[in-house]
Structure 1
Amino acid sequence: MSKKIRWALAALLVIVVAAGGLYMAFGRGGDVPEEEETAVATAPSDGGGSERPTEEPTAEPTEERPATGDFTDPEQLALTFANTYPGNVDHLADPTFLASLDGTDASLLSQISNPRVEQVDHDLGDADERYAFTVFGTYQGSEVQAYSITLSRPAEPEEGGADADNDVEFRVDSFDWGPDLAGDEDAPGPATDLASPLTAQQRGI
């Protein structure tokens, strides 16, 4: 074999070896597989159920008893009077007290809002059953003791004697301005100079 042929075969062998190395390095590897993303599920802390927000109970506001028109109940009469006067109270007032309303000035009461009543006395005599109520309200942004009223009815029902149910309705029979509005000699109030209806003292109560 000539020298030139040997050199040609040696060069060919080098090329083959180099080509094989390149194939092993790049031909078989291909693309590197991407790592699969695995989602991690978080188990709920309560054993599988979704948490539901709990609502705190709210306290029900306490409201005054609504007016029903049953004036055998003294509180109902007092409440109706407080929400009506200085309007027409002919059906709520004792005739003597009603007559005393003529010529009086109750315009101050139109400035009092949110009236509420509170029983302060009860007396059952031989002739009459009597209640006293104080009427509170909001005047110029503050709660005031606006006035007091007394109500009465016969102690016994019209028929059936003392053991029968008394279905006679109460009527308002006196009115006194409260100390917050009447004031006194040292600190007169907005009602100091107003003509007043028949008072409890004038009524002899």
Structure 2
Amino acid sequence: MELIIGTRRWSTWSLRPWLALRKTGASFIETEVELRRGEATKADLAAHAPSGLAPVLKDGDLAIWDSLAICEYLAERFPAAGLWPADPAARAQARAAAAQMHSGFTALRGECPMALDQPPQTKALSPETQEDIRKLVRLWRELLDRFGGPFLAGPWSIADAFFTPVATRLRTYGVDLADYGDDGQAAAYADRLLQDPDFLAWEAAAQG
């Protein structure tokens, strides 16, 4: 298998399936395509998939070019990896959380891009982004309470891969979740995501 990823410092969509693929334990080739902020190097990426975007997973003659679709494929291809929870209720809610991140939190994503090459900073946030953070805290706390942690649906799952880039944003832009209704659970969860060995390997490569 080969995973084509965008620039490690910025490409949240590449980080998510990369984490899932690492959790399978499968060997894979990694190809990084340098992106310009806000645009892809379309000619390079178009050679891999019709979307012209990263990431792309290649498995034999099959190419998959959406981060959530890649993760779903990996969960089916490597069932022993447990990329989704075994419990049906936990699995349904983990999937819902991942889908919510995949299509939502647009203000937070737009105003606070992932920037692994930048030191922590404080930033005034718009009301829309603040509301996204409150929504994020409510979601995290609800799932952590329901399934008991340490991750959103119990053990690590694809849902946690989808929120790992969010944890980097909270750190980069100095967001104190206590200001948004957190009792400490959400902040502790974000810290766990940032201490995941596979994320630390991604971050080290991004900064190296």
Common topology (TM > 0.5): no
Which is strand-richer, 1 or 2?
A: 1
Which is helix-richer, 1 or 2?
A: 2
With structure 1 as the length reference, what TM-score do the two structures score?
A: 0.24
